[in-house]
Amino acid sequence: MAEAQAAATGGTAAMDRGRTWVVLYLATTGVVILLMMVFGLLMRLAQSEWIVLDPAVFYQLLTVHGIGMVGIAALGGIAILWHFLSAHVPLRSAALAINLVLFLVGVVMILWAVFIGGFAPAWTFLYPLPAISGGVWEPWAGVLDLTGVLLIGVGFLILCLEMGRAIVASQGGLGRGLGWHVLFGGSTDKPPAPTVVAGTMVVIVTTLALVAGATIVVMTILNLLFPSLAIDPLFAKNMIYFFGHVFINATIYMGVAAVYELLPRITGRPWKASRVFLGAWTLSTTMVLIIFPHHLLMDFAMPRWTMVLGQVLSYVNSFPVLAVTGLGALAIVHRSGIRWDLVSTLLLIAMFGWMAGVIPAVVDATVSVNYVMHNTLWVPGHFHFYLLLGLLPMIFAFMIHLARDEDVTARGGDLTAILYLLFGLGFVAMFLMGGWASVPRRWAVHMPEWLVWDRIATVMAAGVIVLAGVFVAIFLARIPRLLRHG
Amino acid sequence: MTVQTLSLLVSLAAIVALAAVFLRVRALSHTPVDYPPLLARAYRLGRIALWTMVVVGLPVTVWLLRYMPHTTAAAVADPQVVNVSSTQWFWEFDRESVEASKPVEFHVTSTDVNHGFGLYDPSGRMVAQVQAMPGYINVMTHTFEAAGDYRVLCLEYCGLAHHAMESVITVTAAGGSNG
Amino acid sequence: MAEGGRGRLAGAATAAAAAAALALLAGGTAGGRAFTAEAARRLDIAAAPRALPEVVLGDPTGALVPLSAYRGHPLVMEFVYATCPDLCLTLGTAFERLDTLLPAGVALLSVSFDPADDTERLGWFADRHGARPPRWRVAAIADPAAREALLARAGVVVIPDGAGGFVHNAALYLVDGAGRLVAVFDPEDTEGVRAALAADAG
Amino acid sequence: MRARTQAAIGAGLVLLALLPPVAGRLEARLPLQVLGQYPLLVAGGALAGAALARRHGRGAGWSAAAALLAGAAVLGFWMIPRWIDAAVALPSVRTLRALSLVLAAGLPLGWGWALAGPVLRGFALANAVPMLAVTGWILLVVPARLCNSFLVEDQRLLGRLQLALALAILVAAVLRALAGGPAQGAATDRRMRRASPPIASPQAPRATNTSPSGIGSRKP
């Protein structure tokens, strides 16, 4: 609608950059994140034995919490990336509209399948669990759920293609979007802006993830409809973890655009794409596509070399984040005269959360550690660390940035951000402690000796939800004004 | 020290160190200095960090690869073989008792969906695990250090009663009865 | 606003193409029930039983029997070749089961589609499975045109397997008392044949 | 002129695919038929369709998505085992198939591809790859022989070839996008041609907002 309006008024579209849609994306993100957090809290409450939850309901919540968070992380990440990328390359916001519609339709289908159809195979829907539920759900629920997943995938595919088109058109190829002409060609052309580099990486890896995801989802749907079409379970696992790993990883590469764009504006120090920076992003692009076997270290049927690759490359993949992006962010704020406010503190937390979240991941990707830590709470410990304290602060910072009409002048305190960090740290620490205590992940009922970690986590989760609610409320309260002036 | 404790301490140390850097940067951020020299220093630090990770970390991770639980059957002479079959939602073993200090070869598979075969020592700490997959037999070799009742828990989400999928393997003292 | 109009046009055209594509693919598979010629044949036969053409059957004893002689009673047929190493053995075994399973009034007929099957080779097949006429007759059709007509009518497709034998769509065929092919079953589905006959009698 | 040459090459491909000795060879084996004869016929029609689009396609960008979808459906139809068998059994179906692969699959695919913007092209490829892979997988794992007229070995071989082809298309598309490549160039040329005459909207500089792609240009 924004664009039709723009067309009618004769060409403010270049200024518009799909802002109305970005605002709607963030509103959806905020509301869904809170809802999913409440689902998470319910699960922790049940594990703490403070409420009683039917295991069937627990696993339904688990499924929705997982897929919902993955989807909404991508939606929020895209909002950030789109907003900043559209200043560098001309994007058509119709793709945003199509994606949001497909997303919402998909969400309704998934919720229907899970809460009415009882479909609960976790968000990873590892074959053949969707088809073999032990009588808990019918095949139709699986078909409905996976069709919803497929629709959401189609929406994100269209978004990626549109971003890819714009990058190719304006930069002359995705290779140039990654700065390869500077990195490899020794070209003296201006390197692409960091946001363009991030956008290019997201386009490449997400598109490939979606193609793989669509393939395995369609295969699983066909298997539900025609059980004689059997899938090799190990192949299915590889496809699902390739898709899942790349897709969820891409969300933080979307969100990091907020750091690249806002920190320089706040401090007045430019973030330029140096050759090291470009090299780091090219490395990340490659690594994120090939390190997924670290999810399969306990599948001894996998070829040995994939295990070696999974461990060594997982470690190598931490270089770009730890030594380049993180350091760049720290350098920009170091002795910059910055006055910390909500936005800048959230961005700093985001960089810390991302970098720190990498650490337990690298530890767990070590085969000998994985041998006794895989599928314990250590794993959710790692990804909650970098999603809750890495990606979400980026999204919250961006929400508040928009609510402040994109004015980067520091204002107000940052107490809520600090509290969010503390509750968040407490929350993820309890997951990591659970991993240390060998608590298996995805258990509806916990043993008595594990309750202490569960109960502290529950309290921390409640705190996180309250503070996230504050950030979302700040944004939602501003929406009428944002839409009016959008 | 157990692998779990070591992992926790290493992670904790790294995270605390990282937090210290962030806190220091935040504390010093109020007084502005010129950016270009600072950036040059940051680049130098970045290079040092990167090279440290390459020169120190990379050999470490490669060295850690020497321990792979994917030991093939041929590598162990005369193992005690336990065939493990998993089904929603129970475990089946062809022998329920093995001897400590002697390698045990677990041949793990599933009759329906993916499960995870997790071995817990009597204190409740996980000592080994492997995925149980339909159509595949994953061979895991483990040597129990001490006698006792080892719980088997399911470590891969497998549906409604995933958390109730438990069993026990008894480990007898070395040189005891051979089951 | 011309752009919006073009967008709507594109949307409408795409929706129309999608509807047409769906109709084409649904129509081409009988609404998703028949992706293969085999499934299509069974659906078609179940919906519209096919009268079989007259042929003369020659059995291992040299006796010549017209197919029409079977009128008045149900008949179960299969199409085989005597030197078949696999599928026809399955079919033969299925017929052995049917032999013990079916009421006395139902006849069994194994028809060879291999022109090289002479009375001697038909005899091997009959002996291997214990086939005895008139209950179970193993037969060949001497007239190539008549043979082809029967195979085509029943939808039997035979192709050389490249190793001197044949590959064919194996099935059990139920023919009613009026000489019409009424149903086709999987080679293992003897229970289906029995149930269909029982339902018919009942 | 170039359009005419293109159409002529297209006609040549069709003739080649239908030339009795060649056709006989191609139709004898399932993989040769589906991955040899079909592509020749479709490519023949597609070249003509693209030539047609170049001459008469101005302002017809709205039809690109519909044409690609229709062409894909016709192509998909002839990959249904039932109709592969029918074409072997009945000469009339075989003739209809040749005609429709050229005119109802190739022609619209060429037309639609030529008019499609990069988003629609990418979308088409991103759908074609999983579809090709999934149908290939079906051919490999289905316990039954799907075509009465072909050996099961042929079916499995076709399945493997389809998987390989899907992978090859994916890799080629990614490499092309990395390089920027002529695909983008062609689309940009066309768009500039379309934008230059005065019939274009008053916001001519917003060329990127007037893509003919049915996907990208649909307005909320």
Q: What is the pLDDT along chain B (179 residues), one digit of tens a residue?
A: 899 999 999 999 999 999 999 999 999 998 899 999 998 998 898 889 888 888 998 999 988 888 777 655 556 677 899 999 999 999 999 998 999 999 999 999 999 999 999 999 999 999 999 999 999 999 998 999 999 999 999 999 999 999 999 999 999 998 754 44
Contact indicator for A390, A358 with CB cutoff of 8 Å: no
Q: Please give the interface size between A and B, counted as residue pairs whose CB atoms are below 8 Å apart.
A: 238
User: What is the per-residue pLDDT across D84-116, written as a single tens digit (0 to 9) for each?
Assistant: 999 999 999 999 999 999 999 999 999 999 999
Residue spans of the domains in chain A: they are 13-485
Measured between alpha carbons, how far is A320 from A318 in angstroms, rounded to an integer?
A: 6
The DSSP-derived string for C82-109 is TT-SSHHHHHHHHHHHHHHHS-TT-EEE
Instruction: Tell me what ipTM this predicted complex has.
Output: 0.91
Contact indicator for A131, A227 with CB cutoff of 8 Å: yes
* Domain closes at, from B29, B64, B99: B64
Contacts of A366 in chain B (CB under 8 A): 61, 64
Measured between alpha carbons, how far is D201 from D210 in angstroms, rounded to an integer?
A: 9
Measured between alpha carbons, how far is C174 from A445 in angstroms, rounded to an integer?
A: 56
Measured between alpha carbons, how far is A100 from A19 in angstroms, rounded to an integer?
A: 14
Residue A389 token pair: 């304290």
Q: What is the CA radius of gyration of chain C?
A: 22
Measured between alpha carbons, how far is A34 from A68 in angstroms, rounded to an integer?
A: 11
Interface test with A, best of B11, B71, B154 (most A CBs within 10 A): B11
Which of A253-257, B16-20, D8-12, D198-202 is the least confident region?
A: D198-202
Q: Which residue range forms the structural domain that includes residue C170?
A: 44-201
- Overall domain count for chain B: 2
Beta bridge partners, B92, equal B85
| C195 close to D (CB below 8 A) | no
Contact indicator for A438, A372 with CB cutoff of 8 Å: yes
Measured between alpha carbons, how far is A242 from C8 in angstroms, rounded to an integer?
A: 37
The reply to whether B112 and B137 lie within a common domain is: yes
**Would residue B177 count as lying in a domain?**
no
The reply to whether C23 and C90 lie within a common domain is: no
Beta bridge partners, C166, equal C160
Measured between alpha carbons, how far is C112 from C139 in angstroms, rounded to an integer?
A: 6
Determine whether the interchain pair C18/D69 forms a contact, defined as Cβ–Cβ distance below 8 Å: yes
The reply to whether B36 and B113 lie within a common domain is: no
The reply to whether B37 and B89 lie within a common domain is: no
| D181 close to A (CB below 8 A) | yes
Q: How confident is the model at residue A484 (pLDDT cuts 50, 70, 90)?
A: confident
B-proximal residues of A, 363-382, CB under 8 Å: 363-364, 366-369, 371-376, 378
Determine whether the interchain pair A360/B11 forms a contact, defined as Cβ–Cβ distance below 8 Å: yes
Among A486, A385, A374, A386, smallest CA distance to A439 is for: A374
| A1 close to C (CB below 8 A) | no
**Would residue C26 count as lying in a domain?**
yes
- A273 or A376: which leads in pLDDT: A376
User: What is the per-residue pLDDT across A21-34, written as a single tens digit (0 to 9) for each?
Assistant: 999 999 999 999 99
Determine whether the interchain pair C11/D148 forms a contact, defined as Cβ–Cβ distance below 8 Å: no
Contacts of A437 in chain B (CB under 8 A): 4, 124-125
Residue A108: CB atoms within 10 A of its CB come to 13
Measured between alpha carbons, how far is A78 from A252 in angstroms, rounded to an integer?
A: 10
pLDDT over 70 at D217, yes or no = no
Residue C118: CB atoms within 10 A of its CB come to 15
DSSP helix/strand/coil, D117? coil
**Would residue B123 count as lying in a domain?**
yes
Residue A344 token pair: 């800048």
pLDDT over 50 at A194, yes or no = yes
**Would residue B129 count as lying in a domain?**
yes
pLDDT over 90 at D175, yes or no = yes
The reply to whether C17 and C108 lie within a common domain is: no
**Would residue C133 count as lying in a domain?**
yes
Chain D nearest CA to A233, separation (Å): 13
**Would residue B178 count as lying in a domain?**
no
User: What is the per-residue pLDDT across C137-152, written as a single tens digit (0 to 9) for each?
Assistant: 999 999 999 999 999 9
Average pLDDT over residues D63-72: 96
List own/partner pairs for D54-59 with CB under 8 A and 24 or more apart.
Answer: D54/D2, D54/D3, D54/D114, D55/D3, D57/D111, D57/D114, D57/D115, D58/D193, D58/D194, D59/D194, D59/D199
Chain D nearest CA to A149, separation (Å): 15
User: What is the per-residue pLDDT across B104-118, written as a single tens digit (0 to 9) for each?
Assistant: 999 999 999 999 999
Contacts of A281 in chain D (CB under 8 A): none
> CB under 8 Å to B28, separation ≥6 — which residues?
A334, A335
**Closest-CA residue of chain A to C7:** A94
The reply to whether C27 and C49 lie within a common domain is: no
Interface test with A, best of B6, B105, B108, B114 (most A CBs within 10 A): B114
Average pLDDT over residues D212-220: 36
The reply to whether C80 and C19 lie within a common domain is: no
Q: Which residue range forms the structural domain that includes residue B81?
A: 73-172
Determine whether the interchain pair A374/B155 forms a contact, defined as Cβ–Cβ distance below 8 Å: yes
pLDDT over 70 at A11, yes or no = no
User: Which of A11, A162, A218 lies at the smallest CB-CB distance from D130?
Assistant: A218
Q: How confident is the model at residue A189 (pLDDT cuts 50, 70, 90)?
A: confident
Residue C104: CB atoms within 10 A of its CB come to 7
The reply to whether C11 and C84 lie within a common domain is: no
User: Which of A62, A120, A234 lies at the smallest CB-CB distance from B133?
Assistant: A234
The reply to whether C71 and C155 lie within a common domain is: yes
Contact indicator for C56, C142 with CB cutoff of 8 Å: yes
DSSP helix/strand/coil, C38? helix
The pairing of beta strand C107-112 with beta strand C136-141? parallel
Determine whether the interchain pair D122/A165 forms a contact, defined as Cβ–Cβ distance below 8 Å: yes
Measured between alpha carbons, how far is D127 from A214 in angstroms, rounded to an integer?
A: 9
Q: Tell me phi and psi for residue B133, to 5 degrees.
A: -125, 140
User: Which of C10, C40, C167 lies at the smallest CB-CB distance from D151?
Assistant: C167
Q: Which CATH superfamily is domain A13-485 in?
A: Cytochrome c oxidase-like, subunit I domain (1.20.210.10)
Q: pLDDT 10s digit of each residue in chain C, 202 long?
A: 456 677 889 999 999 999 999 999 999 999 988 999 999 999 999 999 999 999 999 988 888 999 999 999 999 999 999 888 888 888 889 999 999 989 888 999 999 999 999 889 999 999 999 998 889 999 999 999 999 999 999 999 999 888 888 999 889 999 999 999 999 999 889 999 999 998 877 6
pLDDT over 60 at A57, yes or no = yes
Q: Tell me phi and psi for residue A297, to 5 degrees.
A: -65, -25
3-state helix, strand, coil in chain A (%, to 5): 75, 0, 25
Among D101, D99, D89, D124, smallest CA distance to D34 is for: D101
D-proximal residues of C, 25-84, CB under 8 Å: 25, 28-29, 34-40
The reply to whether B83 and B161 lie within a common domain is: yes
| A8 close to C (CB below 8 A) | yes
Which of A73-77, A322-326, A336-340, C36-40 is the least confident region?
A: A322-326
The CATH number covering residue C131 comes to 3.40.30.10
Residue D131 token pair: 């579809």
| C19 close to D (CB below 8 A) | no
- Overall domain count for chain C: 2
Share of chain A above pLDDT 70, in %: 96
The reply to whether C27 and C118 lie within a common domain is: no
DSSP helix/strand/coil, B90? strand
Which of A10-19, A389-398, A402-411, B18-27 is the least confident region?
A: A10-19
C-proximal residues of A, 87-126, CB under 8 Å: 94
Contacts of D73 in chain C (CB under 8 A): 17, 20-21, 24-25
pLDDT over 70 at A141, yes or no = yes
Q: Tell me phi and psi for residue C118, to 5 degrees.
A: -95, -175
- pLDDT recorded at residue B152: 97
pLDDT over 80 at A458, yes or no = yes
Neighbours of chain C (3+ CB pairs under 8 A): A, D
Q: Tell me phi and psi for residue A72, to 5 degrees.
A: -75, -30
The CATH number covering residue B99 comes to 2.60.40.420
Burial of C1 (0-12, 13-18, 19+ CB in 10 A): exposed
Q: Which element (helix H / strand E) includes D138?
A: helix D118-141
The reply to whether C26 and C101 lie within a common domain is: no
The reply to whether B83 and B141 lie within a common domain is: yes
Beta bridge partners, B106, equal B82, B140
The reply to whether C79 and C173 lie within a common domain is: yes
Q: Please give the interface size between C and D, counted as residue pairs whose CB atoms are below 8 Å apart.
A: 104
How far does CA A78 lie from the centroid of its chain?
Answer: 10
Measured between alpha carbons, how far is A425 from A356 in angstroms, rounded to an integer?
A: 11
pLDDT over 80 at A43, yes or no = yes
**Would residue C37 count as lying in a domain?**
no
**Closest-CA residue of chain A to B121:** A438
What amino acid occupies position A17?
R
Measured between alpha carbons, how far is A245 from A365 in angstroms, rounded to an integer?
A: 13
The reply to whether C116 and C148 lie within a common domain is: yes
